[in-house]
Chains A and B, each alone.
Chain A
């Protein structure tokens, strides 16, 4: 005959799930401390999304403050983020905004950018997600700020919002531009 406690498993699993759902209701994206902050940006030398013959590497950007934004055409949250990013890039043409197209297919990503507009100075094509692993990407979208010496100074998980850009990214960019 069945053990009584076995019959309690479905209920317990459900209650655990419900607790998570309840927590989820009151949540906003939050900052995660990344072990990479304050460390040199992991190197890569990867093809560009538009032209496989061209390669992009962080070394090319040494001496400049730049942003790496991880995105993918299959990522729903990226669609929410996209207009914010596009508007921001238009107003800040001086900061290189490098896209990292994560675990994607080239035509899908190109169509996606063609449809929604392309805010990126250049996009790195990371087909198998290896660069993402090096950079400690949990999921998409994520955003990194890298300083003039090639050190990661900030990581934001989840879609960028105008508020995050205003309160966290822009002040940091200004400080970094002054060489602080």
Chain B
């Protein structure tokens, strides 16, 4: 009964979504307030129906209802409750339902917190979001129904992929989707502005906090995914430039560009058409990411079931949404206009350069991700473009961006002079050179990229310091948004420091050990105390217990495992990590050898946690900026 109710809820949601979009859109065009008035109640109805559908699918998981195909494919009666709930988004159909749930939450938030906006504008926003919703609902109902029955019911489920049985599965996908889908708000605002043909600083002020909010979620979501990969995949990497990672990273890059261009639109009424284009781009890339992940056109460790019908549907939807919004852009952007002029040396210029660099980086990531597909489409075969390409391009493009990150905030709007700028920057520049020299020598990291990385991190730190110093005597008057910017930029500095140091100073060794054996790495001594089998709820594990010691440190206990999950029978490496502010100790258990010894991989990763700490700082900075006084409800 529950699955049928879920099915009905989805159909109801589709009807409500159409009601939320078509009549109000027409009403907004023709000035019919009675049609427009449908948007809010229909949005509420649609959201309620989707929330109910989601709850019903969750109930089917909790109750182990293996007569539902999707549950049978992604759960098992021995699966712990928390993973039965997380299993809801463990596969294709449920992921879509969660996508939709997030869209509804954003829609509700927009409907609730937009009372100050002109009614016709907000009606168009809700209508656009309703159209996107309707498209996804149709997609689910036609090709990916999560409530499809399996008759006769399976005796037990096939279990959730062991890779996904991790606390990361509980937080990472919802946060990531919240960010992905959040860009739909900026998109709907942009389309609404294009239809209305009016775009000004007020528009930017409405759009900014929404965009920043989505960006915060996306930042945290990506960071959580990376942290998860780091400890769960078991070999110590934290970013693989996998197509699915790229699919979430491209909207982040475009969204970051959008945040900065919105600043110009709000403060200086500039970059108007460009901001609208970026808003369309950020959400388009989110949709494209969904396409890439769901259609199976690219092979990836994240790939779910592939079905050409699904791919075709999403592609058609993509063409409809992105194509029509870009057509609208081509037709109406001239009306929106470029905005204020500015001098070559000005804060606008640095932000423009920031935007161009971010967009080019997005393009480079897109190219690298789709290059195998392009070759395939041209009949040149299937291949994989690897981290060597991405690492190089990314580092090359990010270096000037970070230099600008230091310059921009110290520049004046509209026009500035080079001597005045040099005056403001000289101490920061000098301090950066000295600090880089000191850290290079003391840490012994002399490779070119290591020196560049350190210099960039110090540069951000000292320019933020210079900016702060310019406020001396009136610290209490620093706007919250400015504090947020500093914090986010310092997050980038921490991130760069982490990446640079871990890339150039990590140590690792592969050893074979029996109980009682020891190995030494980077001043730490690791002793294998014992190794033996340990049963788990739905897996069998082999657990090794090691003690790491070093002069002047308390001994550290580490217990890496190798697990075999009973249903899907693939082995999983559960690394043991001792995290720390300055370094992580990372031990993973390898394979048994014929002579009774086991192989181990022991790693020492300095500053690796700064990578995610940096992301958290960026998100906190975003939070401060989004809650600045001028965005609070008027």
Among A1-9, A56-64, A168-176, the one that faces the other chain is A1-9
Interface flags, B357-398, vs A, CB<8A=1, else 0: 000000000000010111111011111111110000000000
- Asked if B161 is at the interface (CB within 8 A of a chain A CB), the reply is no
- Asked if B318 is at the interface (CB within 8 A of a chain A CB), the reply is yes
Q: In the complex, which residues 1-50 of chain A have their Cβ closer than 8 Å to any Cβ of chain B?
A: 1-2, 4, 7-8, 10-11, 14-15, 17-18, 20-27, 29-32
Separation of A110 and B599 alpha carbons in the complex (Å): 12
- Asked if A95 is at the interface (CB within 8 A of a chain B CB), the reply is no
- B299's nearest neighbour on chain A, judged by CB, is A77
Q: Are B381 and A114 in contact (CB under 8 A)?
A: no
Chain A contact patch, size range: 35 or more
Some 7 contacts from A to B, beta carbons below 8 A apart, are A25-B295, A27-B376, A31-B381, A74-B241, A111-B590, A141-B384, A157-B383
Q: Are A139 and B242 in contact (CB under 8 A)?
A: no
Return chain B residues, CB-CB under 8 Å to A139. 372, 375, 381, 383-385
- Asked if B308 is at the interface (CB within 8 A of a chain A CB), the reply is yes
- Asked if B319 is at the interface (CB within 8 A of a chain A CB), the reply is yes
Separation of A2 and B385 alpha carbons in the complex (Å): 37
- Asked if B41 is at the interface (CB within 8 A of a chain A CB), the reply is no
Picked from A80, A111, A140, the residue with its CB within 8 Å of the CB of B510 is A111
- Asked if B352 is at the interface (CB within 8 A of a chain A CB), the reply is no
Q: Are B326 and A76 in contact (CB under 8 A)?
A: no
* B304 nearest CB across to chain A (Å): 14
Picked from B370, B380, B573, the residue with its CB within 8 Å of the CB of A115 is B573
- A11's nearest neighbour on chain B, judged by CB, is B326
- Asked if B80 is at the interface (CB within 8 A of a chain A CB), the reply is no
- Asked if B297 is at the interface (CB within 8 A of a chain A CB), the reply is yes
Interface flags, A127-144, vs B, CB<8A=1, else 0: 001000000001111100
Q: What would 13 more interface pairs be, CB under 8 Å, given A21-B297, A75-B384?
A: A1-B338, A4-B330, A8-B330, A10-B330, A11-B326, A18-B319, A20-B373, A20-B377, A24-B377, A29-B381, A76-B301, A139-B372, A142-B383
Q: In the complex, which residues 313-344 of chain B have their Cβ closer than 8 Å to any Cβ of chain A?
A: 315, 318-319, 322-323, 326-327, 329-331, 333-334, 337-338
- Asked if B312 is at the interface (CB within 8 A of a chain A CB), the reply is yes
Return chain A residues, CB-CB under 8 Å to B380. 32, 138, 157
- Asked if B508 is at the interface (CB within 8 A of a chain A CB), the reply is yes
Q: Are A72 and B386 in contact (CB under 8 A)?
A: yes
Interface flags, B87-104, vs A, CB<8A=1, else 0: 000000000000000000
Separation of A2 and B339 alpha carbons in the complex (Å): 11
- Asked if B210 is at the interface (CB within 8 A of a chain A CB), the reply is no
Interface flags, A108-121, vs B, CB<8A=1, else 0: 10110011000000
Picked from A10, A108, A142, the residue with its CB within 8 Å of the CB of B326 is A10
Number of chain B residues whose Cβ lies closer than 8 Å to a Cβ of chain A: 57
Q: A10-B330, A11-B327, A115-B573 are in contact. Are A103 and B388 (CB under 8 A)?
A: yes
- B318's nearest neighbour on chain A, judged by CB, is A18
- A5's nearest neighbour on chain B, judged by CB, is B330
Q: A10-B326, A14-B323, A110-B510 are in contact. Are A32 and B381 (CB under 8 A)?
A: yes
- Asked if A78 is at the interface (CB within 8 A of a chain B CB), the reply is yes
Picked from B273, B312, B376, B386, the residue with its CB within 8 Å of the CB of A75 is B386
Q: Are B599 and A76 in contact (CB under 8 A)?
A: no
- Asked if A86 is at the interface (CB within 8 A of a chain B CB), the reply is no
- Which residue numbers of B lie inside 8 Å of A, CB to CB? 235, 240-243, 273, 277, 280-281, 284, 291, 295, 297, 299-301, 308, 311-312, 315, 318-319, 322-323, 326-327, 329-331, 333-334, 337-338, 370, 372-377, 379-388, 508, 510, 573, 590-591, 599, 601
* B560 nearest CB across to chain A (Å): 14
- B327's nearest neighbour on chain A, judged by CB, is A11
Q: Are A25 and B308 in contact (CB under 8 A)?
A: yes
- A140's nearest neighbour on chain B, judged by CB, is B384
Picked from B300, B308, B318, B374, the residue with its CB within 8 Å of the CB of A26 is B308
Q: A25-B311, A115-B235, A159-B382 are in contact. Are A11 and B330 (CB under 8 A)?
A: yes
* B586 nearest CB across to chain A (Å): 12
Return chain B residues, CB-CB under 8 Å to A31. 381
Picked from B241, B281, B375, the residue with its CB within 8 Å of the CB of A138 is B375
Separation of A142 and B322 alpha carbons in the complex (Å): 36
Separation of A134 and B535 alpha carbons in the complex (Å): 51
Separation of A103 and B385 alpha carbons in the complex (Å): 11
Q: A20-B374, A114-B591, A114-B599 are in contact. Are A29 and B382 (CB under 8 A)?
A: yes
Return chain B residues, CB-CB under 8 Å to A25. 295, 297, 308, 311-312, 315
- Asked if A158 is at the interface (CB within 8 A of a chain B CB), the reply is yes
- A71's nearest neighbour on chain B, judged by CB, is B384
Q: Are B235 and A111 in contact (CB under 8 A)?
A: yes
Q: Are A107 and B240 in contact (CB under 8 A)?
A: no
Return chain B residues, CB-CB under 8 Å to A103. 386, 388
Return chain B residues, CB-CB under 8 Å to A27. 376-377
Q: Which of A7, A8, A24, A138 has the most CB of B within 10 A?
A: A24
Return chain A residues, CB-CB under 8 Å to B243. 76
Return chain B residues, CB-CB under 8 Å to A17. 370
Q: Are B383 and A77 in contact (CB under 8 A)?
A: yes
Return chain B residues, CB-CB under 8 Å to A4. 330, 334
Q: Are B334 and A1 in contact (CB under 8 A)?
A: yes
Return chain B residues, CB-CB under 8 Å to A111. 235, 510, 590, 601
Separation of A107 and B235 alpha carbons in the complex (Å): 11
* B143 nearest CB across to chain A (Å): 13
* B545 nearest CB across to chain A (Å): 21
Return chain B residues, CB-CB under 8 Å to A140. 383-384, 386
Picked from B235, B284, B373, the residue with its CB within 8 Å of the CB of A24 is B373
Return chain B residues, CB-CB under 8 Å to A114. 510, 590-591, 599
